[in-house]
Structure 1
Amino acid sequence: MKTLTVNGFDMAYLEIGQGKPLLCVHGSLNDFRAWAPVLKPLSTGRRLIAPSLRHYFPDSCAGTEATFTMAQHVDDVIAFIEALDAGPVDLIGHSRGGHLAFRLALQRPELVDRLVLAEPGGALDDTLMPKTEGEGGPAAGTRAHVAQSAEKIAAGDLEGGLRAFIEGINGPGAWDRLPAADRQMREDNATTLLAQVNEGRLPFSRTEAEALTAPTLFVGGADTPGMLPVVLRALAAHVPGAKTVIIPDAGHSMFRQQPRTFGDAVLAFLDG
């Protein structure tokens, strides 16, 4: 593990391999450990860099930090790329990290060569809301599970809060199916959900999707339930030239469930 001071914060990160930089940004309740299953394939011939965002493990989070915002995390990753003198990078973002990567690529397109968005998390505004009955509606991209989970964690029910969050994304029984190491990572980052409730994450818009200039690959899990696939399809339909790959026999954690298939799809896109 290495650290780099950016915006007054010592950002911890993993770095492996040599070659063109590939920056991997984790999602909610995750940290740099999330990428362990794909470190080897994604670092072949590349300089893979996986940071932990501010207030995520090995940092701490009380849940009340004013610096836990999407805008702060975007600014931190921008500063991180600049401090490493690594840009332009190929950028992968998963879930909340996908939202961050989307915002970063809009804000500083010169820092991003190719962009991979693995089921980016967030709500859709009216310009992207699906019109098909049964797909979307007012709840498209709703994140009610975050508030429900935070309420339980604040009341001292750590496992109940984590279960609510994981099953809110992946469906009933998802928490019980998690390997012990994955549960531990979520427990280490549980209090970030308290801060995430008020992180200021804005909904995606059609104008923003159409403004992305980096070649973009969307990656989804074939078994992911709920609104994440709806958000993915809505964005992919409006990002110019976007490609989409769906990983079979996988859900939202597709790169951990099917690391070889995920790695092959991402590397084919990055090398294209």
Structure 2
Amino acid sequence: MQTLRVNGHDMAYLDIGGSDGPPLVCVHGSLCDFRIWNAVLGPLTRSHRVIAVSLRHFFPEPWDGTGETYSIEQHVLDMIAFIEQTAPRPVDLMGHSRGGHICFRVAQRRPDLLRKLILAEPGGELDESLDPDYRPGPSPLAARFAASAEKIATGDIDGGLEYFLDALEGPGAWKRLPATPKQLLRDNATTLIGQVRDQRAPFTKRDAEAIRTPTLFIGGANTKGLLPKVLHALATHVTGSEIAMIEGTTHPMFEQKPQKYCEIVLDFLTR
């Protein structure tokens, strides 16, 4: 593990593999950190240099959930500053879930830093220009996340995480989860407190049309709820984008079928 000083913060990251080509920078999602990419590091680093970051306030940084420095905006600024210090540039950028949202916003603001963009079920909401069923206010999923954060804030870490994961993956998801990924979620549990305070802007048609970086969207064919809707709505309006759906997987598709995920990513990066 290494650290890089970014906007007054020491950002932890892994830098693995070797290649003269563009580095592949990986951004994790909610309640995760750079360890979430472990299942795909082997295949990816055989031909690419992979840099997996841990965002501000995530493991290994201890955080109690207080303060106003946890937000999409802060994480976007941190990623821009991190990539500005990465050589060579431009880089390939890959994000999962909330990390996909962050990568999308980086591509909006600083396309000069990027060669290719990979978004694995980017998290977020759609506005009325992308969703004919749009209703103002938080989504039902956001309300579930808020309830999870309330439990975590009172010290009921496992209870809050169970509520969160079952909302995302279906009833019983937390109980079925092995011990190691459970501990990863516990290590980042307080970040959910910050996330529910984050007033992130919804995706708009204009946002999607502004992306000019070659983009690949990856989804789990069995993922339910809002995430597939967001993926397909964005892909429809990102010029020239591609979609790959992985059969037999849900939101953590690169953990469920890492070999297939890597095949798709490597094919996209080498074209």
Say yes or no: TM over 0.5.
yes
Shift of the 233–137 alpha-carbon distance from structure 1 to 2, 3 Å rule, reads farther
Q: What is the one-letter code of the residue matched to 1:100?
A: I
For residues 111 and 191 of structure 1, the distance between their equivalents in structure 2, rounded to whole angstroms, comes to 31
State which of 48, 73, 76 in structure 2 corresponds to 1:74.
76
2:50 maps to a residue whose letter is L
Which digits, 9 at most, give the CA deviation of each residue in 1:25-57, with x for residues without a partner? 000000000000000111122110001000000
CA–CA separation in structure 2 for the residues paired with 1:130 and 1:219: 23
Name the residue aligned to 2:193: 194
Q: String of CA shifts for 1:156-192, please: whole Å, max 9, x gaps.
A: 2111110111111111111122121110000000000
Equivalent residue number for residue 11 of structure 1: 11
Q: Unmatched 5+ residue regions in structure 2?
A: none
Q: Give, in whole Å, the separation in 2 of the partners of 1:162 and 1:236.
A: 30
Other-structure match for 2:218: 219
The whole-number CA distance in structure 1 between the counterparts of 2:78 and 2:216 is 23
SS for the counterpart of 1:143 is helix
- 2:44 pairs with one of 17, 23, 42: 42
In structure 2, what is the Cα distance between the partners aligned to 1:41 and 1:130?
Answer: 40
Q: Secondary structure at the match of 1:202?
A: coil
Cα distance change on mapping 1:240 and 1:229 into 2, 3 Å: same
Shift of 1:137: 6.1
> 1:141 deviation in Å?
7.9
Q: Which runs of 5+ in 1 are unaligned?
A: none
29 and 112 in structure 1: CA distance in 2 versus 1, 3 angstrom threshold = same
- 1:162 aligns with 161
Deviations 1:136-170 (A, max 9, x none): 76676842222011011112211111011111111
| Contact persistence 1:29–1:190 (CA under 8 A) | yes
Q: How does 1:42-191 map to 2 (within 5 A)?
A: 42-130=44-132, 142-191=141-190
Distance 2:188 2:141 in 1: 22
Give the conservation status (yes or no) of the 8 Å contact 1:221–1:247.
yes
Distance, in Å, in 2 between the alignment partners of 1:26 and 1:130 is 30
Asked if structure 1 preserves the Cα contact closer than 8 Å seen for 2:142 and 2:196, the reply is no
Residue aligned with 1:237, SS: helix
Tell whether the 8 Å contact from 1:42 to 1:48 is kept in structure 2 after alignment. yes
The count of aligned residue pairs is 268
Percent identical among aligned pairs is 54
| Secondary structure of the structure 2 residue equivalent to 1:197 | helix
3-state secondary structure, aligned to 2:237: coil
